[in-house]
Structure 1
């Protein structure tokens, strides 16, 4: 089946009078070769369900549709809806557009089968959405993969190793039962308007969840440990009942700081406190 001939993205944006809005964390991507590369990161999407958050004028959306994905796009900027409606018409049956706030919409209510998430996330809500998709006791999740654009600094925090300045709660949350990697980096000049920082694409796939661990308990442990990351564990964890006893039982020196502990150490502490 031949793909529809679409006008250049810049022409679409100009025709609809769209201007990226800082309040909504918008930065538009017009490079269709770059967008096509991003759409390949999750693998074969033909016939797959894909959730896209903040599609804007639909640059990444058209790349996903061209790969045969069935896209559900959540957009809260009403100015972008006419451009997205044109895409829905060009790809009959492949695109569903929902006007609303992705922070208030549960993806599980949108799909009756597993889905991928592929999105150039708005900077102002990206981390909150990401941690929401990673949280909860139920595992494996209903999503098959996450392919997300972040500020490079945030991306590096997600994949950070113990002992680095970037290592913290976000790294532990992302790595304890999933496999995150930086799939590609995107120069700030690729965006309109150019943001002040570089960006990166993170790809995440679920991994096995360690047994005997409460996700909520792990969140509590990391929140306490990294909430005062420059202090020793004996100080930062003293407010969490049983945490200091758990350190002793596991043979973890309470004089260490949180950033020196491996992900497996945090899992072990949470397992003791969960029991």
Structure 2
């Protein structure tokens, strides 16, 4: 991509600024610029979009997003060592990149989108740090206001997590994430990314997941749904009458017209919502 954007190769950037990836920050830098462009293209048209990126690191995905024409990119980076490298990218794309130093778990993303958006779609595109990726996804899936501020999310996770996000009933990977994502989004696996594409290489394969919001999901109380999924999948090998005993057990299941002898992994998203509404 150096030939496309005129910026130095990422390996040179990392060497010049001493950017060794730190395990404590969940960092694995993606250096294959063909892959970063593939991730950015998976998000859909970017020309009229405001993009939010979490954990840009030395800026490989950042550069791909901007080279594909994103109108505005807001990047949240916790590691201050990466800021000089991102400043170079910002200077190369005047007025289009805003870098915010901070912890993504403490950011009000809806307010951020409102501040930097101009009426076009907001797309979240990120190679998420492994140690906060799942929590960020849950936060983005469970705001009280829906449809959300984002028009799509294109996110990289460990493959195991990606499978959990897109799983449905009777799938071994089905659990809380599958219920939440299946309730409010259309989620699909886009493609895998091998360990050797990263520096340092993680021990697992990664997967890019693309999610788009369902405009009118089944009406359901978020807090009740989360309590139910936590109880049901917390004891997933037990029958529901036992695993949700603290929430009403057999009486609750009867009200929702669900067989108390079933197990959590057999319930559809619609049935979980029905159960939550019966609480």
TM-score by length of 1: 0.95
Count, aligned residues:
271
CA distance in 1, matches of 2:194, 2:8: 24
Aligned partners of 2:113 and 2:149 also within 8 Å: no
Alpha-carbon offset, residue 234 of structure 1: 0.5
CA distance in 2, matches of 1:212, 1:60: 36
CA distance in 2, matches of 1:22, 1:266: 37
Alpha-carbon offset, residue 92 of structure 1: 0.3
Aligned partners of 2:183 and 2:218 also within 8 Å: no
3-state SS of 1:110 partner = helix
Q: After TM superposition, list the pairs within 5 Å mapping 1:1-275 onto structure 2.
A: 4-69=5-70, 70-112=72-114, 113=117, 114-241=121-248, 244-273=250-279
CA distance in 1, matches of 2:129, 2:166: 20
CA distance in 2, matches of 1:246, 1:201: 38
CA distance in 2, matches of 1:178, 1:74: 24
CA distance in 2, matches of 1:33, 1:48: 21
CA distance in 2, matches of 1:187, 1:50: 25
Superposed CA RMSD in Å reads 1.5
Aligned partners of 2:218 and 2:270 also within 8 Å: no
Structure 2, unpaired ranges of 5+: none
Moved over 6 A (4+): none
Structure 1's 136 and 245: CA in aligned 2 closer, same or farther, altered over 3 A?
farther
Structure 1's 47 and 165: CA in aligned 2 closer, same or farther, altered over 3 A?
same
Q: State the Cα deviation string for residues 145-196 of structure 1 (Å, max 9, x = none).
A: 1100000000001111211221101100111111110011111111111000
Q: Which moved more, 1:222-231 or 1:88-97?
A: 222-231
Aligned partners of 2:37 and 2:61 also within 8 Å: yes
Q: Which moved more, 1:109-118 or 1:232-241?
A: 109-118
Structure 1, unpaired ranges of 5+: none
Aligned partners of 1:4 and 1:91 also within 8 Å: no
3-state SS of 2:47 partner = coil
